[in-house]
Amino acid sequence: MKTEDQLQFQVLLTGPIPAEHLACLAAKAGLTHLRPGFSGSEPALLDALVGCDAVVSFLSERLSGYVIEMSPRLKVIANVAVGYDNIDLEAASRKGVLVTNTPGVLDETTADLAFGLLIACARRIVEADSFVRNGQWSGWLPDLMLGVDIHAKTLGIVGFGRIGRAVARRALGFGMKVQYVAKREGERKLTPELAGCKSTTLHELLASSDFVSLHCPLAKDTFHLIGQAELSVIKHGAILVNTSRGAVVDQMALLAALESGRLGGAGLDVFEEEPAVPAKLIERKNVVLTPHIGSASVETRAKMAELAVNGLLTAIDGRLPSNAVNPEVWPQFVNRLAIVGRSNGSK
Ligand code: GLV
């Protein structure tokens, strides 16, 4: 005879979400929370997923093909992030596991951070703050902490989706010229407010932009999109901002470009092996580093949790959520859900 836990739809939460969204989920499913300090290792994640039908995950968890294959009850992965490179999507789709993400609710917040990093690098804000705190300031000097202007300069945006466009709007407001490379279908159509932005090639963008900001998802075709070859043509002294994914940039090549002076600075929110950050990056004054906080505002994180939970509840209810990234698995998912429903007599 099955216990109540085995019959109810079980959801694993790998991190905290606001209480109101937790309550909505608890009304429909049994919840398991990962203990604080969860190592994130594959065996620990596998262990936690035993007996779970769904997981509300964050980008710190790697849902590898192995983890997905070895979790027999798993049917939904509700990733509280817009990027889902932490999930083996092919493995999930093969197994009929529905994957959802949180698009559209974090664009402005992430764009704020990208633009903040751009300004911080251009005007040496972090370096200047340390200078004051360390008691090094002995008086106003005409050549103290000189940075570079932002207005009238050219910003190159790589990836012109929702976040890239939100960055473009900010840049236009600051009197910058904006050029972009569209990396995905549908990124070429411009709304009137972005009519002044110019489409170009990656090579041309790198060679002629004073600032370059990256806004493409990490995928096979964007892994190390900015490598040694690209950094060797980047405009001398340009500032690179990355709030997308660390592996879009070859970190070793980035370090070399900073060391040679080819790059004038970098604002980095993402890294190749998070949370590891190379000591050589940490040592550099012309680099501003943040710990992957692009979407980290109270309001936006709440909206992301809400979207993830609503998507999951919609799926449990037998309707395809609009934030599914692999909607083609729906028939297979519905079959697997019906089996759970039949075994607890509710559907
Ligand atoms: C953050 O990096 C996200 O993908 O939501």
**Residue 304 alpha carbon, nearest atom of ligand 1:** 5
Ligand 1 centroid distance, CA of 281 (Å)? 22
Output the CA 163–ligand 1 centroid distance in Å.
11
Nearest CA to ligand 1 atom 3: 81
What pLDDT sits at residue 2?
45
Are 201 and 217 in a shared domain? yes
SS3 282: helix
Distance 81 CA to ligand 1 centre (A): 4
CATH number of the domain enclosing 63: 3.40.50.720
Q: Is 223 found in the same domain as 325?
A: no
Query: Do 168 and 242 fall into the same domain?
Result: yes
Kindly state the greatest CA–CA separation across the chain: 81
Q: Is the distance from CB of 55 to CB of 77 less than 8 angstroms?
A: yes
Q: Atom 4 in ligand 1: which residue has the minimum CA distance?
A: 83
- Which protein residues touch ligand 1 with a CB less than 6 Å away? 59, 81-83, 106, 294-295
Joined tokens for residue 214? 């990256």
Q: What is the pLDDT of residue 41?
A: 86
Q: What pLDDT is stored for residue 293 in this prediction?
A: 98
pLDDT at 340: 62
Q: Are 268 and 119 within one domain?
A: yes
Which residue among the candidates 124, 162, 292, 301 is catalytic per the annotation? 292
Catalytic residue status for 319: no
**Strands of the 263-268 sheet, one edge to the other:** 198-199, 177-181, 154-158, 211-214, 238-242, 263-268, 287-289
Domain-ending residue, one of 248, 263, 289: 289
Are residues 243 and 308 both part of a single domain?
no
User: What is the block-wise mean pLDDT of the chain (347 residues), using blocks of 10 residues?
Assistant: 62 94 95 80 92 95 96 97 98 98 98 98 98 98 98 98 97 98 82 94 98 97 98 98 98 98 98 97 98 98 98 96 98 86 48
From 289, 306, 335, give the residue that closes a domain: 289
Q: Position of tokens 């620990």?
A: 44
CA of 332 to the centre of ligand 1 (A): 28
Q: Which residue from 79, 89, 110 has its CB within 8 A of the most atoms of ligand 1, so it is best to mutate? A: 110
Domain boundary among 289, 313, 335: 289
Query: 60 near 301, Cβ under 8 Å?
Result: no
Give 133 Cα–ligand 1 centroid separation in angstroms: 32
**Are 100 and 142 part of one and the same domain?**
no
Look-up of token digits 């040592």 = 283
312 Cα to the center of ligand 1, angstroms: 18
Domain identity same for 312 and 192: no
Number of domains in the chain: 2
Domain housing 133: 107-289
Looking at residue 341, what is its pLDDT?
57
Please tell me the predicted confidence (pLDDT) of residue 1. Answer: 43
Atom of ligand 1 nearest to the CA of 80: 5
Residues pairing with 209 in the sheet:
none
- Asked whether residue 123 falls in the same domain as residue 271, the answer is yes
Preceding peptide of 275 cis, ω within 30°: yes
Given the residues 245, 301, 306, 336, the one annotated as active site = 245
Are 113 and 233 in the same domain? yes
Same domain, residue pair 246 and 113: yes
Q: Which atom of ligand 1 is nearest to the CA of 102?
A: 5
Are the CB atoms for 56 and 312 separated by under 8 Å?
A: yes
Rounded to 10 degrees, what is the CA torsion of 176, 181, 183, 184? 70
If asked whether residues 213 and 130 sit together in one domain, one would say yes
Same domain, 100 and 11: yes
Asked about 4 being catalytic, the answer comes back as no
Atom of ligand 1 nearest to the CA of 243: 2
Q: Using the atom order of ligand 1, give the atom closest to the CA of residue 244.
A: 2
